[in-house]
Chain A
């Protein structure tokens, strides 16, 4: 290693001072490095170009000099300037016999030329010769050039030599040959179609590097046509298995070094997983082969390293692509949870992406990550945000569309990147069209999209919007229709005032104002026409808008006349019409003349021409021209030839057929006018209900979530509605965000169940104040979450919850003043609390016998669960003394004053909270005792339980740092951290 390093250094130094670079070049690099501005840099480079142009054509340049010129050309080109005058010299250099020059030449041409450059033809011959060279380094250089420069036309010239090289003794050459063939396949699949078997064969190459390289072309081939490679599934799986277990076959041993290619393993694993994902997609039989090995990889996956996570992510992609398997899906969900909980933005990003993939198969996965997703959505990192929008887009339902689209629009307004703005606008429109809960909402949303994304939206969207307003809800909802229309008119009149509206939006506005501006009688015709003229004037260079405006004017006047009112045109309208009468655009002119003619007619005629609200009436066309029957009959009798339809005459397809088909199709693409999907009732949660000892009023409490999610339970209880547990926040999948970890699980089972209850909020504080400081600490750590959650909770509920009803319900229950809660309700609650305690007791009794140390009669000992919670553990350690003393008191039943006062205070405060609220004494006693006993248990078992736990917490960190340390020592530098050694002596 050291040797290598010194060799490298010496070589580098050698090149710096020795053969290649003259002082001149070093000066150039230096001066560019010191350049203060781009302009200065450009000046230097231009001067350099002039020098090179002059020098490079001089006769008899020494090879070494020439090489340096070429490198200087590279430098110039790299800085973004044109060095094409020197290309030919680089090409010439590839012909050189001197290997160093040849290599420089190849490097230069691969960097200078694309595969469509004219000079390529001059290189092909050299490449052909070099591919046959007996020096493998020359062959390598030539293959590099082949990958870059050979185009479709020149492939046949080098193909035979490249195929021959697949059998080259050097693995580096074989690998490059495979990659070259891969490249050929990219450029022209037909040229290598007869060589596909070679790829299959190379899969068994005894060098893993070559095997890995073969996966690239195979992946491409399989992606195009998976069916013909199904036979390889088994071999891929077995390779993957060997790779994953670092157990490459003997033949993969390289120079008797056992498995030196750990890194290669990882890379090939990713490719193999990608291939399997394609092969297993929708194929149950093929997928079944993969389950074990994928499961194994996920299980063993090391999430401490970057590449380990890359593999895990690839596993998820694979799992979500192949035929679903419950176990694998669960494993994948676990990995996602780990990603999302991570502090690294990269992992969060990958987690969100993976979630988006998995959600297609098992939609419920997202629920446990609600808060994490919302955190990502609110993250300042744009990349993460966009990825999250992608996820939201995938999980949009009719129940959460409003929140999601609102968010998207907000974000759309905030960004300036047109590319992404168009994208997200189309997403919004798509979602709104698909899931809109109401027409009103749809119109409002469209308004916003139009207003902010403007002309980036597809014109079809505007047409859909007009159609929706025009058609409304249908025949039987006239009232709702007119309400919708007037609200649209209202909103448009409001919006008109804004400066610089996009043209498309103005068209919609004009149309709606024309059709419905005066329909409800709220606005007078002169007001609306005035507004329309304002629009036309403000956007006078937009002809389409003007056309829409004049048509709208026509309609309004027509409606006025039809209603029997006298029309007096505003002067500005008059001048507008006059202007259009003389317009260069025939379209505008015609519209203006139509308007003029219409005004002159009487009411009846106008009504027939422009009936009110008839934009959506079908225009009846009498295709048979029945009124002409008599005339036709007469003619026939007189001996005229009968009419033969055109299509019969010419054999053409019926045109009308075409049209009707067309219409049908367009209807399919447009808005959905049938009823929207009713929000589905939430899927019942998987958790099994706990058998309750006393109370039957209780809803099933999810057993597994019980201890950690008391607040959930309480809210369930308060709403006392079965099944709603699904709609609440689940906090267990979420990274503990607000500093200190919170619920001490069963400890808080009693206290929490009251404290977390939104109705009991105030009491909780009282209790907290009364109980000793340790408990208070508990509350303190817990508080931030309680404070922050409602907002996020609401968002989460609206995003993931399924129905907006929950949101409302929870908010009302939050608002309910304490006094208004009826007594029976309360007692029920308290009963429930007791019941919960009993459940807890029962559970703990079952799970572990109470320690003999503590002689508690009401043995309400709960086990400290193995929650990874260093703070709690610490607390437990610190409180040993306190809790043990108090425990003595209580166990001895020696009427300990402090406890009693505590108890009294608690109960008093509770009683003061609500009249007629009888506290079951035992229940409260239990609460207190359990609180204490837990502390005690923690105190006694503290030393034993804490140590392993804390180790397990610190474990990965320590390992991490060890690894890093090792790596540092290995390479003498850590590029990951700000190492002072690294890059310390740089320029500027």
Chain B
């Protein structure tokens, strides 16, 4: 399973963190510090995996942003690389050619998307369309759903009057 997801900029600034295994705030800071040291200093063209404290970290750089995922020893690295790419593609679709700024200002949106993609450290949905549909539903249908709910409760309230 995926233990955590990290988005770090080339300058080492954290853009998004999601922890699927329990880490204390102190550990989190340590992990981020260590990993950004390891990942950011790696030359291009080397492989996208780093073995790190009995785990493997799969990272990929998109423009100035590094997407890192930490996985267990027996997970398939290439698959995770694909998940990262998948995440980026969904972000891209959602924001319309995504840029780092989108993620900086709308990081909570990125979290929502990530929540639709991964759950409990496992990939839950690999169809881009489904994720997009769900997110769009959440964004736009929230209001109507609320209306429906309220109208329903109105009806019930009236009926029970």
Q: Establish whether residues B130 and A74, one from each chain, have CB atoms under 8 Å apart when the complex forms.
A: no
* Interface membership of chain A positions 134-168, coded 1 if the CB is closer than 8 angstroms to chain B and 0 otherwise: 11010010011001100000000000000000000
A691 to chain B, nearest CB (A): 46
Knowing A4-B132, A29-B105, A306-B85, the reply to whether A179 touches B120 (Cβ < 8 A) is yes
Q: Establish whether residues B96 and A6, one from each chain, have CB atoms under 8 Å apart when the complex forms.
A: yes
A90 to chain B, nearest CB (A): 12
For B47, the chain A residues whose CB sits under 8 A away are: 344-346, 348-349, 381, 383-384
Say yes or no: is A639 at the interface (Cβ < 8 Å to chain B): no
Say yes or no: is B40 at the interface (Cβ < 8 Å to chain A): no
Q: Establish whether residues B93 and A4, one from each chain, have CB atoms under 8 Å apart when the complex forms.
A: yes
| Contact residues of B between 128 and 151, Cβ < 8 Å to A | 128-130, 132, 134, 136-142, 145-146, 148-149
Q: Establish whether residues A7 and B46, one from each chain, have CB atoms under 8 Å apart when the complex forms.
A: no
Q: Establish whether residues B142 and A8, one from each chain, have CB atoms under 8 Å apart when the complex forms.
A: no
Q: Establish whether residues A383 and B111, one from each chain, have CB atoms under 8 Å apart when the complex forms.
A: no
A186 to B120, CA, bound (A): 10
A79 to B8, CA, bound (A): 11
For A313, the chain B residues whose CB sits under 8 A away are: 76, 78
| Contact residues of B between 91 and 109, Cβ < 8 Å to A | 92-102, 104-109
A387 to B106, CA, bound (A): 39
| Contact residues of A between 101 and 142, Cβ < 8 Å to B | 103-104, 107, 110-111, 114-116, 134-135, 137, 140
Say yes or no: is A270 at the interface (Cβ < 8 Å to chain B): yes
Knowing A4-B132, A5-B93, the reply to whether A71 touches B108 (Cβ < 8 A) is yes
B21 to chain A, nearest CB (A): 9
Knowing A11-B140, A71-B108, the reply to whether A209 touches B77 (Cβ < 8 A) is no
B87 to chain A, nearest CB (A): 10
A144 to chain B, nearest CB (A): 5
> Per a CB cutoff under 8 Å, which of B51, B99, B126, B129 touches A383?
B51
| Contact residues of B between 59 and 110, Cβ < 8 Å to A | 62-65, 76-79, 81-82, 85-86, 88-89, 92-102, 104-109
Say yes or no: is B11 at the interface (Cβ < 8 Å to chain A): yes
A983 to chain B, nearest CB (A): 3
Say yes or no: is A15 at the interface (Cβ < 8 Å to chain B): yes
For B49, the chain A residues whose CB sits under 8 A away are: 346, 349, 383
A336 to chain B, nearest CB (A): 14
Q: Establish whether residues A15 and B106, one from each chain, have CB atoms under 8 Å apart when the complex forms.
A: yes
Q: Establish whether residues B78 and A309, one from each chain, have CB atoms under 8 Å apart when the complex forms.
A: yes
Closest to A3 in B: B136
For A266, the chain B residues whose CB sits under 8 A away are: 82, 126
A75 to B148, CA, bound (A): 33
A334 to B145, CA, bound (A): 55
Q: Establish whether residues B65 and A983, one from each chain, have CB atoms under 8 Å apart when the complex forms.
A: yes
Q: Establish whether residues B105 and A26, one from each chain, have CB atoms under 8 Å apart when the complex forms.
A: yes
In this complex, the member of B47, B81, B106 whose beta carbon has the largest number of chain A beta carbons within 10 angstroms is B47
| Contact residues of A between 172 and 202, Cβ < 8 Å to B | 172, 175-176, 179-180, 182-183, 186
Number of B positions contacting A (CB below 8 A): 79
For A71, the chain B residues whose CB sits under 8 A away are: 108
Say yes or no: is A80 at the interface (Cβ < 8 Å to chain B): yes
Q: Establish whether residues A5 and B127, one from each chain, have CB atoms under 8 Å apart when the complex forms.
A: no
Q: Establish whether residues A267 and B65, one from each chain, have CB atoms under 8 Å apart when the complex forms.
A: no
Closest to A25 in B: B105
Q: Establish whether residues B97 and A981, one from each chain, have CB atoms under 8 Å apart when the complex forms.
A: yes
Q: Establish whether residues A98 and B64, one from each chain, have CB atoms under 8 Å apart when the complex forms.
A: no
Closest to B47 in A: A345
Q: Establish whether residues A975 and B62, one from each chain, have CB atoms under 8 Å apart when the complex forms.
A: yes
> Per a CB cutoff under 8 Å, which of B100, B108, B146 touches A99?
B146
> Per a CB cutoff under 8 Å, which of A6, A33, A98, A134 touches B104?
A33
Knowing A345-B45, A383-B47, the reply to whether A78 touches B16 (Cβ < 8 A) is yes
Q: Establish whether residues B96 and A8, one from each chain, have CB atoms under 8 Å apart when the complex forms.
A: yes
For B105, the chain A residues whose CB sits under 8 A away are: 16, 21, 26, 29
Say yes or no: is A350 at the interface (Cβ < 8 Å to chain B): yes
Say yes or no: is A100 at the interface (Cβ < 8 Å to chain B): yes
Chain B: interface secondary structure?
helix
Q: Establish whether residues B51 and A386, one from each chain, have CB atoms under 8 Å apart when the complex forms.
A: yes
B123 to chain A, nearest CB (A): 6
Knowing A15-B106, A179-B124, the reply to whether A982 touches B97 (Cβ < 8 A) is yes
In this complex, the member of A100, A111, A346, A419 whose beta carbon has the largest number of chain B beta carbons within 10 angstroms is A346
Q: Establish whether residues A176 and B130, one from each chain, have CB atoms under 8 Å apart when the complex forms.
A: no
Q: Establish whether residues B63 and A978, one from each chain, have CB atoms under 8 Å apart when the complex forms.
A: yes
* Interface membership of chain A positions 71-87, coded 1 if the CB is closer than 8 angstroms to chain B and 0 otherwise: 10011011110100000
Q: Establish whether residues B127 and A137, one from each chain, have CB atoms under 8 Å apart when the complex forms.
A: no
> Per a CB cutoff under 8 Å, which of A78, A143, A972 touches B107?
A78
B2 to chain A, nearest CB (A): 12
Which of A256-264, A744-752, A794-802 makes up part of the contact surface?
A: A256-264
A396 to B95, CA, bound (A): 52
Closest to A180 in B: B120
Q: Establish whether residues A80 and B78, one from each chain, have CB atoms under 8 Å apart when the complex forms.
A: no
Say yes or no: is A973 at the interface (Cβ < 8 Å to chain B): yes
A26 to B104, CA, bound (A): 10
Say yes or no: is B154 at the interface (Cβ < 8 Å to chain A): no
The chain B residues found within 8 Å of chain A, CB to CB, are 11, 13-14, 16-18, 22, 25, 28-29, 32, 43, 45-51, 53, 62-65, 76-79, 81-82, 85-86, 88-89, 92-102, 104-109, 111-112, 115, 119-120, 122-130, 132, 134, 136-142, 145-146, 148-149, 152
Q: A137-B137, A346-B47 are in contact. List 16 more A-B contacts (CB 8 A).
A: A11-B136, A11-B140, A29-B105, A74-B107, A107-B115, A140-B134, A172-B130, A175-B125, A209-B130, A310-B76, A310-B79, A310-B82, A380-B43, A387-B51, A971-B97, A982-B99
Can you list 27 residue pairs at the A/B interface with Cβ under 8 Å? A4-B132, A8-B93, A8-B96, A8-B136, A9-B95, A16-B105, A16-B106, A29-B105, A33-B104, A107-B112, A137-B138, A209-B130, A263-B86, A263-B128, A267-B123, A306-B81, A310-B78, A314-B76, A381-B46, A383-B51, A384-B46, A419-B53, A975-B88, A979-B63, A983-B65, A984-B63, A986-B101
